[in-house]
Structure 1
Amino acid sequence: MRSLILCLLLTLSSTCARAAFAIQPWPEAAESLQMPPMQHWIGPARAERPFELCALYPHLRDAYWLSVNQGMVEEARRLGVGLRVHEAGGYAAQDEQARQLAECVREGSDAILLGAVDGPTLAEAIGQSPLPVFGLVNALPPEQVVAQVGVPWYQMGWRIGHWLAERHPAGTPTRRVALLPGPEGRGGNNLVEPGFATAIAGSAIELVETLRGDNSREIQRSLVQRLLTRHPNLDYLVGGAMAAEVAVNELARRPPSAPHSNPQPRAPAVLAIYFSHGVERALLRGKLALANSDQMREQGRLAVAQAVCLLQRPAASEAQCPRHMGPAILTLAGPLPARRSTLSDPAFRPVYRVEPSLSPTAP
């Protein structure tokens, strides 16, 4: 406890800076709503040798993975370890990510931090890797990985649904909702949907349609336009960050009603399952009602710290090097409490290589 207090207070010290993390262990079951209490974990101060970490992302074309990237880069530099980043090109790129798993070995990496595009199809490639594999953001079966960092995405869906159900309980007028969770069966979407469905069960919320598609602006715009055409009297539109951004823009483009004419259908309120820079802007302008943040930049930091901790101490206890953890999920109707835990800086651009350096760096 004394060391935790010192590290929290001495934020200008290169030895302690960012070594103290607020973490939430994962529940035993992915569908659990009973989250363990928050804990404080003191991560490694500096790496004992210049480890090389190989990070594999589904893509780097949106704010989510860009923010994960900055967190990983920050922590790699703080710890003095090397980092190589590869992106698969999208959630349909299973073959490319399997090839990249082998590429990490050829590059001489010490460990792989895997943001999996599709865990089941990568099971064989993961099993064949001689390197320790750490799950990053997208959950993998525990038997496939040494450890993992992320949040339960069932909770991400449940929290949005619970907010709606509390405002529209059974016996009140029915409210029509559409869901755009992102790619089918990819990332955390296979857990978001049942979490959302559980939360709205027995309420006055009616899920009228679910449309799935890749997280590209063009695809999500097409899905949003289709929903608004099919359901002109929609009350809520719930989607991933890209879908929420597009929906806010599409609704802003609706022409105002002419005087004495029939009014335009009432615009649905937009809710975001996860966060982005565009989601933040819409939330602050009052164009978006609610959004979850799973603090993805902090997840990037935690993933690097966890990997270094277990590379240095493979037999460490759970308290010394937690195996299944993530930051708290924030459900917000207003500003982020700590922006640098969620979003990348405005000027940040993807970094694909960090050279190892065990000389101290400034925080």
Structure 2
Amino acid sequence: MRSLSLCILLALLVRPASAFEVDHWPDGAFTGQPTRLTWPAPAPLAKPLTLCILYPHLRDAYWLSVNQGMVEEAKRLEAKLRIHEAGGYGALAEQRKQLRQCVDEGSDAILLGAVSYGALADAIRQSPLPVFGLVNDLAPGLAVAQVGVPWYQMGWRIGHWLAERHPAGSQPVSVALFPGPDSGSGTALVESGFIDAIRDSAIRLVTTARGDNSREIQRTLVQQTLARHPGLDYLVGGAIAAEVAVNELAQHHADRPRVLATYFSHGVQRGLLRGKILAANSDQMREQGQLAVAQAVCLLRQPDATETQCPRVMGPPILTLSAPLSAPEHSLSDGDFRPVYRVGLAPTPP
């Protein structure tokens, strides 16, 4: 009996949250100052809904963590998921096709991790299904609701963290920025946020290297930058750029430049733990996945719900860290988790 009670307690501890601490933007866009609130997520569905989920890709820790959060919340709510990945941030044509495919498959709504901020506008407007923004911001008027964080803030917060350590008048330092793909998604916002944050400091941005979030491309960019700027003090980049930079520096037994990450991954967590990464943001991507499913279910069940009942633009608070996360389960997928493409549906035939 005692062991049964312990099993029940452990199950309750690891189950997805039924209430979330969120930042809420009541004006319908990720601008201005959000309100922090505790949002009680919806109860399980009496009648199942099928959500069609579109990701840019599932080849890095970020989207894998989003995937696990969505799977967890779908199981809690007894919703069905059908998941597709486009193949990368250049796959506009594929994601347009997948928007139509969601309709053909008989889904109730689309949760779109868009490969572009505005280039999918016509395809979204033509869809008869409600479209919810997932992680990546969409141009105004395209989504019924959105879960995410302001990517400007992701750049600004890391820049501000660094600028506080190198204020104007102190010894000048140099930095290279690796914001991610040049795709019109969040990259430009990360860049502008970082640049604004360091503007009145002793930090000099010597180069910006944009490229797809593949390890090969980011490794090449890092190698080229280190060769061209041997005296570099800091390297600031997305999780993959930060991870490959740590590896490159280790191979050359170098302790400079110091590395910072604009977003989070398992490798970034290890880098913080080992002192190889100085600071990093986490936008709690696993919880973003949970929130996205909960938000869609809430609004599909209550389309006329108030902002208090079903917030239209929200996301978890951004964490800026100089030490490893003590509770990474809101940010990172479990070590043994693998991509899931169907929840509550028969697997796709080979």
After superposition, the Cα gap between the structure-2 partners of 1:100 and 1:148, relative to the gap in structure 1 and judged at 3 Å, is: same
What SS does the aligned partner of 1:68 have? helix
Instruction: Say if 2:17 is the partner of 1:18.
Output: yes
Q: 1:137, CA displacement in angstroms?
A: 0.3
> Separation in 1 of the partners of 2:209 and 2:169?
28
From 326, 342, 346, give the equivalent of 1:353. Answer: 342
Instruction: Say if 2:337 is the partner of 1:339.
Output: no
Assess if the C-alpha contact under 8 Å between 2:134 and 2:146 holds in 1.
yes
What SS does the aligned partner of 1:55 have? strand
> Separation in 1 of the partners of 2:26 and 2:170?
34
> Separation in 2 of the partners of 1:192 and 1:72?
25
| Cα deviation code 1:209-233 (max 9, x no counterpart) | 0000000000000000011001000
Q: 1:82, CA displacement in angstroms?
A: 0.4
Q: 1:26, CA displacement in angstroms?
A: 3.0
From 159, 162, 174, give the equivalent of 2:160. Answer: 162
- Corresponding letter in the other structure for 2:241: A
1:146 aligned partner: 144
Q: Trace 1:70-219 onto structure 2 (pairs within 5 A).
A: 70-219=68-217
- Corresponding letter in the other structure for 1:298: E
> Separation in 2 of the partners of 1:77 and 1:251?
42
The runs of 5 or more residues in structure 1 that have no matched partner are 1-9, 257-265, 358-363
Q: 1:187, CA displacement in angstroms?
A: 2.9
Assess if the C-alpha contact under 8 Å between 1:239 and 1:272 holds in 2.
yes
| Cα deviation code 1:15-73 (max 9, x no counterpart) | x96211111013759785x5323100001111131100000000000000000000000
* TM-score (normalizing by structure 1): 0.89
| Cα deviation code 1:245-264 (max 9, x no counterpart) | 000000000057xxxxxxxx
Assess if the C-alpha contact under 8 Å between 1:80 and 1:356 holds in 2.
no
- Corresponding letter in the other structure for 2:64: L
* TM-score (normalizing by structure 2): 0.92
Instruction: Say if 2:317 is the partner of 1:318.
Output: no
Assess if the C-alpha contact under 8 Å between 1:225 and 1:250 holds in 2.
yes
Q: Trace 1:49-64 onto structure 2 (pairs within 5 A).
A: 49-64=47-62
Assess if the C-alpha contact under 8 Å between 2:22 and 2:316 holds in 1.
yes
2:4 aligned partner: none
After superposition, the Cα gap between the structure-2 partners of 1:27 and 1:287, relative to the gap in structure 1 and judged at 3 Å, is: farther
Assess if the C-alpha contact under 8 Å between 2:173 and 2:203 holds in 1.
yes
Assess if the C-alpha contact under 8 Å between 1:275 and 1:293 holds in 2.
yes
> Separation in 1 of the partners of 2:181 and 2:340?
25
2:270 aligned partner: 281
2:289 aligned partner: 300
Assess if the C-alpha contact under 8 Å between 2:29 and 2:140 holds in 1.
no
Aligned length: 337
- Corresponding letter in the other structure for 1:311: L
Q: 1:98, CA displacement in angstroms?
A: 0.3
Identity, % of aligned pairs? Answer: 66
> Separation in 2 of the partners of 1:43 and 1:350?
24
Greater mean alpha carbon deviation, residues 45-54 or residues 324-333: 45-54
> Separation in 1 of the partners of 2:117 and 2:150?
15
- Corresponding letter in the other structure for 2:298: C
The runs of 5 or more residues in structure 2 that have no matched partner are 1-8
